[in-house]
Amino acid sequence: MSIVVTGATGHLGRHVVRQLLEKVPADQVTAVVRDRDRAADLAARGVRLAVADYSSPETFDGVFAAGDRVLLISGNEFDKGRVRQHTVVIDAAKQAGVALLAYTSAPESLKATLADDHRATEEVLVGSGVPYVLLRNGWYHENYTDQLAPVLEHGAVVQAAGEGRISSASRADYAAAAVAVLTGEGHENTAYELGGDEAWGFAEYAAELSRQTGKEIVYTPVTPDAYAAFLTGAGVPEPMAAILAGVEAGIEKGELLVTTGDLSRLTGRPTTPVAEAVAAALRG
């Protein structure tokens, strides 16, 4: 039996593997990667590597074994048919007879286009007969704190979320929830709505940046169309810019406000405050 993490060299995947190694022996962890070289650090710690690609079903032959617990981290290649890619993994897991497949989804409340692939993947997974867990991850702090350079340069947080509030948390928080499910018991056929303990709005976020940097940072709300144009001007492909603008509109409607407390209950600790994430990003 192994705990198998797909997308293991991605931002979230690395957090999951590192936290798993604090709980289980390395030889019980399998990291599924597309590039073995990028996972050299994981192999050096004794993690088993499997090279496979969501777009190539044959590469998943033999990756899973009966009794495995699997974390399917959703793909980020929106132009390659994510539902089809995820189905490749689900089918391979079903054929192998895995004990549990956890999928990183999106909050049920999110109605933006971004959520469409997640809802469709959930349908495939639930219908597969594989014991499942839906980890409906809210927004990550890092979606914003990883992009501080232009904010600090221009002294403005430009978003299209109006006065909407977000229950975001850190990648490490969401990884901890995944680890709790993969190493725990009694999670089969369950959906968890995951988000940070403390919701915040962009005016507060700008104020926190001002406090920590000593610079005047203002929140500049714009329309979704203007935000999409702003993103494309910064080099974001138009389809992705439209998706992100749709999420912003959803934030204004409260679609990324998660109040279940599932995340802190699963991890057994409070979630990371956004102020702490800002401080970490500023430290570099």
CATH assignment, 3-138+170-194+259-268: 3.40.50.720
| Average pLDDT over every residue of 197-217 | 98
Q: Give the chain's mean pLDDT.
A: 96
Domain extents for the chain?
Answer: 3-138+170-194+259-268
Q: What is the pTM of this model?
A: 0.96
**CA nearest 50: which of 70, 36, 68?**
36
Q: What is the pLDDT of residue 284?
A: 84
pLDDT per residue over 135-188, tens digit each? 999 999 999 999 999 999 999 999 999 999 999 999 999 999 999 999 999 999
Whether 78 contacts 46, CB under 8 Å? no
pLDDT per residue over 97-123, tens digit each? 999 999 999 999 999 999 999 999 999
Q: How confident is the model at residue 1 (pLDDT cuts 50, 70, 90)?
A: confident
CA–CA distance, 87 with 178 (Å, rounded to integer): 20
**Tokens describing residue 144:** 């914003």
Size of the chain, expressed as the number of residues it contains: 284
Q: What is the pLDDT of residue 76?
A: 83
CA–CA distance, 113 with 229 (Å, rounded to integer): 18
Residue linked to tokens 């990756």: 63
- Contacts of residue 216, defined as CB under 8 A and 6 or more positions apart, other chains included, come to 155, 210
CA–CA distance, 210 with 1 (Å, rounded to integer): 50
